[in-house]
Structure 1
Amino acid sequence: FSKDFSRSRERIWDEMKFLFNDYLIAGERVLDLGCGNGRFYELFKRQNIDYIGVDISEKLIDIAKKRYPKVKFQKVDALNLAFPENFFDKVYSIAVLHHIPSQEFRKQFLKEIKRVLKPRGILILTVWNLWQKRKTKRLISKFILRKILGKSKLDFKDILMNWQKMENCYFHCFTKGELEKLITKAGFHLKRSGEILVGREVKKLPNSNFYIIAEK
């Protein structure tokens, strides 16, 4: 699973790079939460920051360490971060939150981010917009109907979907408004939000991502 997931996470879309180039400041301590195979380190290292990458998958962390032996990568549970309060200037979480099951766990995820951020620290977070494509819209409707009929234990807007070579991957299908509400309810001040379309040059219908920039 980890090798397949890592191979699916090689490319860094140009449309995403502004989240790094426009917001990182030299000398900051930055957490890459859900760093996977470390692919975003290429963008972080240009800014001369104090970087720490963490992920729940030991195998993905091993891949990241082999790529960048001198960089700090750790296996860490995102719901119980092994860092003190007010520790990071910025926390990045790219395409992670939609994989976290249940509202309770998503709230805990954001609570931990807020705890480890310094006062006025910045959270930069993205999730996939799974409502954009007709195929996933139909799948979302199917799971909503199963929920209404009492045939699914998943929450509303949760789906299981085959993705790349992986079967039954969990996703929560955020709307932009739902994401903004979740962030503000967690106690963050919303600074900016929007949609990023990636892959225009290789796909007829580019993939859509929602992004949030919020302050503690």
Structure 2
Amino acid sequence: MAELESQADQYEQENVHEVYQHIAQHFSATRYKSWPIVESFLQEIPAGSIGIDVGCGNGKNLLVNRDIFIIGSDRSENLARIAHQHHPHAAVVADILHLPHRDAFFDFAICIAVVHHLSTPSRRVAAIAEILRTVKPGGTVLVYAWALEQKNSRRGWDKGDEQDIMVPWVRKSATEPNKSQTFNRYYHLFQEGELESDIQMAGGDVVRSGYEKDNWWAIATPKIK
């Protein structure tokens, strides 16, 4: 088991973490607006609440609601540095599987388009469990993951297609327009009902869930023990 976990960790290091280190600036330039459900969720959080954005990327969600305080974290040091520029007191480098936060401390958490980068079912469940661990009883967690069912998008994936895939990110040269570099990122595409199932296995109760912009999303609370 330990060997398999080590292999999965190394696989993600090479096919997720190192990729985001390389593409951080270009990736950030394409991420500038919060998705509607994310914005709505954050705007409904009571003033004075404290939460976390796990896998915050460039920090675009940190200032959606200026009446709450969000600590953003990302596995990519380069992305965390960009987020730090947006919100100097609220961005740290952290691994989703080992968050540096106390148990049951936060009022809420968001994790947007991150868990699909974990390469095994057990690691995806463990990641969600780690987020739930940090949230108070009665607190809420919003999780997003790429959907398998995207037949109406430019990608065209749908039921029956492979769920574990490599997705290319093409970065054109700033100095030589005809040259580009391609980086492949690992994704697990969630099929309908899978995110809710993972949340339940992780120790959460799903409050509501749905589909938005080729993603499955779910809002959950930690189960009362």
Assess same fold via TM > 0.5. Answer: yes
For residue 50 of structure 2, the aligned residue among 23, 26, 29 is 29
Aligned pairs (5 A) from 1:111-150: 111-133=129-151, 135-137=155-157, 141=161, 144=162
For residue 40 of structure 1, the aligned residue among 61, 79, 82 is 61
The AA in structure 2 aligned to 1:41 is: L
1:103 aligned residue: 121
The AA in structure 2 aligned to 1:93 is: C
> Residue by residue, what CA displacement relative to the aligned partner does 1:51-89 show, whole Å, maximum 9, x if unpaired?
2111111111111112233x3211011100111111111
Instruction: Measure the CA separation in 1 of the matches of 2:39 and 2:86.
Output: 20
Asked if residue 51 in structure 1 is aligned to residue 51 in structure 2, the reply is no
> Residue by residue, what CA displacement relative to the aligned partner does 1:148-172 show, whole Å, maximum 9, x if unpaired?
xxxxxxxxx1100113535221111
For residue 68 of structure 1, the aligned residue among 87, 90, 97 is 87
Structure 2 counterpart SS, 1:114: helix
1:148 aligned residue: none
Identity percentage of aligned residues = 34
Q: CA deviation at 1:13?
A: 3.7
1:4 aligned residue: 26
Normalising by structure 2, what TM-score?
A: 0.76
The AA in structure 1 aligned to 2:111 is: S
The AA in structure 1 aligned to 2:139 is: G
Instruction: Measure the CA separation in 1 of the matches of 2:80 and 2:28.
Output: 10
The AA in structure 2 aligned to 1:213 is: I
Asked if residue 181 in structure 1 is aligned to residue 197 in structure 2, the reply is yes
* Structure 1: tracts of 5 or more residues without a match: 145-156, 197-206
Q: Is the 8 A contact 1:44 1:51 kept in 2?
A: no
Give the 3 Å change call, closer, same or farther, for CA 181–73 of structure 1 in structure 2. Answer: same
Give the 3 Å change call, closer, same or farther, for CA 174–74 of structure 1 in structure 2. Answer: same
* Structure 2: tracts of 5 or more residues without a match: 1-22, 172-181
1:167 aligned residue: 183
2:8 aligned residue: none
Deviation beyond 4 Å, 4+ runs, structure 1:
none
1:78 aligned residue: 96
Report the RMSD for the aligned CA atoms in angstroms.
Answer: 2.1
Normalising by structure 1, what TM-score?
A: 0.79
- The size of the alignment, in residue pairs, is 188
